[in-house]
Amino acid sequence: MSAPRYERFRSLRASFGVTHTDEGTWICPSQEAYETGVQHYDADEYLQAVARLEESLSEALSALEECRGLCEGPRDDEDEEEEMQPGLYEAIAAHYIQVLKCRQQCVLEIATKPGRISATEDFIPSHLDLLQFAYSQVGNQTLAAECAASYLLFYPTDEPMLEKMKQYRTELGGDAAVTARQSIQHYVQRSLMEKKLIYYAVEHLGETFHDPDLWTPDELIPENLREKHRENQEKQKQETLDVEEREKRGALPFEGIAVTMDSQQMNGTQRVVFDRVLTESECKDLLRLTKAAGEAGDGYRARRSPHTPHERFEGLTVLKAVQLAQNGDVEWRDAKLLLQASEKSRRIIESYFTPGKKLHFSFTHLVCRRAVDGKQEGRMDLSHPVHADNCLLDPEGQECWKEPPAYVYRDYSGILYLNDDFQGGGLFFTEMDTVTVTAEVRPKCGRLVAFSSGKENPHGVWAVRRGRRCAIALWYTHSPEHAEQERVKADELMEQRAMEQDQPDGDKHQGTDGSSRSSSEPRAPSRAAKPADQRQKPGLDRKQQPKVLRARDEF
């Protein structure tokens, strides 16, 4: 057994008070066979996939037996004996329950590959699911049916697999006997028996238990413990998502930027907060640009907020900023800084969430929300109601409909804050019910909050009750066809400006006031790029029709 994997299992056994093991006997299964099998499966190389997946499954079941053997032995609970001094029967029961719990956790140990802290979800059932399809593709319907029947021992009501079983029975003939593998039958029956004993101890003896399996049937769990079990399952799924998120992160492209909060600290998935993205002086320069937004920007309804009558709304797009610079209404360097700050944010978010896969700007908006004096007393609304950025949120149905008029092509969102000298205006995330707050982010200069744009991240903005809150709102897409056209035009104007600045002084472009404005802008980088190919897995069609919901305003 490799040293890191043995250390993890020794910690596992120690958590259950087990000390006796033959340290040289337990050998964890190689994850190489499983990963190689999945790679062959994804490449449609089903013969190779079958061989490696069968090898991995055999190793996993063998390692489970060795792991379970390590759970035997005396308990190291001297401290507990001093405090409780249980009687003989109590001691025997307590020891036996600890052994059973240790055995149950073995499936997590064999499903955790070196370097990871979370196990592969549904490790044993996933082998059978992959194998049944791979066998069917190579024409071995007998073994495909056997694997399907074995999988149904874990999930007996799984409709797609039940349909597969009907298909296999038809192909094999009605008289063909289809049974699950004996090894899987033994594994499931034994596991269910142990779970039943453990849950009895939890209900009647005050024990605790974190069930490692997602397939445990609800009827096995005492009714008063089922809600807790579901919460533990959701937590386990979330931990798996967090690990996958951390594993695919890339290195940040700029020095000095700090990750202040990640998904785990924000009680969600695909969420992060960066600090020190901008300096104080850069925030001040961009705030100077926001004054132009108040005077000549693109606010709604005479610059009243589209979401609340208690706030004024001022917005400026990147193209509008560059056009104002052309007219001499703002400094070129301030308009350039808006482009640079948003591009810096894009690169940070891309490297963190989707390294190697291009993110394109979908929309960029310099936005300020100002509290209207005299209209804050008794205020009960939000600065921006809870919503998701690429689907229509339906709290009652606990669904988010990814269809127009929602901006369904948006993949990631970001907010780069410029100031904190106001009251209220914090960002918050909620559950799908739009009521249960899961995380809050307080704005400050240079802070960038980023998150995926889907239903996993409903969010809103608390009311701005005093002062003026300014930020750059950012949306990104993997689809080049939905790239922000205003930004392309703004980049072209910046390139034209740079070329003019490179000309002799006599040919320098004159501003509208007749003066020559200096600038040292380099040529803006081209945003044209093709996204990497992405393999898509088929999903089930949604049959339920959505309610008629009103699309959220763009900003």
| pLDDT grade for 136, boundaries at 50, 70 and 90 | very high
Instruction: Using the Cα atoms of residue 276, residue 281, residue 282 and residue 286 in order, give the sign of their dihedral.
Output: positive
Residue 392 has a pLDDT of 93
Mean residue pLDDT across the chain:
80
Residue 532 has a pLDDT of 37
Residue closest to 343 by CA, chosen among 493, 476, 518, 478 = 476
| pLDDT grade for 19, boundaries at 50, 70 and 90 | very low
Contact of 348 with 254, CB cutoff 8 Å = yes
**Given a cut of 60, is residue 408 above it in pLDDT?**
yes
Residue 204 has a pLDDT of 85
Residue 15 has a pLDDT of 43
**Given a cut of 80, is residue 490 above it in pLDDT?**
yes
Residue 89 has a pLDDT of 81
Residue 516 has a pLDDT of 38
| pLDDT grade for 227, boundaries at 50, 70 and 90 | confident
**pTM of the entire predicted model:** 0.54
Give the number of C-alpha atoms closer than 13 A to the C-alpha of residue 405, restricted to the C-beta side: 7
Residue 229 has a pLDDT of 63
Residue closest to 288 by CA, chosen among 422, 419, 383, 473 = 419
**Given a cut of 60, is residue 507 above it in pLDDT?**
no
- Tens of pLDDT, residue by residue over 137-153, are 999 999 999 999 999 99
Contact of 414 with 339, CB cutoff 8 Å = no
Instruction: Using the Cα atoms of residue 517, residue 519, residue 523 and residue 524 in order, give the sign of their dihedral.
Output: negative
Residue 420 has a pLDDT of 96
Give 236's contacts (C-beta < 8 A, 6+ positions apart).
121, 212, 214
CA distances from 285 to 151, 281, 335 (A): 61, 6, 9
| pLDDT grade for 238, boundaries at 50, 70 and 90 | low
Q: At what angle do helices 123-137 and 32-42 cross, to 10 degrees?
A: 40
Annotation says 469 is catalytic = yes
Residue 318 has a pLDDT of 93
DSSP 329: S
**Judging by DSSP bridges, how do beta strands 271-275 and 448-452 pair with one another?**
antiparallel
**Given a cut of 80, is residue 533 above it in pLDDT?**
no
2-6, 72-76, 264-268: range with lowest mean pLDDT: 2-6
**What is the mean pLDDT of the segment spanning 232-251?**
62
Residue 359 has a pLDDT of 94
Contacts 24+ apart (CB under 8 A), 252-261: 252/348, 252/351, 252/352, 253/347, 253/348, 253/351, 254/344, 254/347, 254/348, 257/348, 260/447, 261/439, 261/441
Q: Which of the pair, 307 or 461, is modelled with greater confidence?
A: 461
Residue 20 has a pLDDT of 40
Residue closest to 420 by CA, chosen among 236, 518, 294, 280 = 280
- Tens of pLDDT, residue by residue over 39-74, are 999 889 999 999 999 999 999 999 999 999 888 876
Name the β-bridge partners of 472: 366, 416
Residue closest to 304 by CA, chosen among 293, 295, 296, 313 = 313
**Given a cut of 90, is residue 293 above it in pLDDT?**
no
Three-class SS string for 246-285? HHHCCCCCCCCCEEEECCCCCCCCCEEEEECCCCHHHHHH
**Given a cut of 90, is residue 521 above it in pLDDT?**
no
Residue 528 has a pLDDT of 37
CB atoms within 10 A of CB 197: 14
Which of 469, 487, 497, 552 is labelled catalytic? 469
- Tens of pLDDT, residue by residue over 357-395, are 899 999 999 999 999 988 888 888 999 999 999 999 999
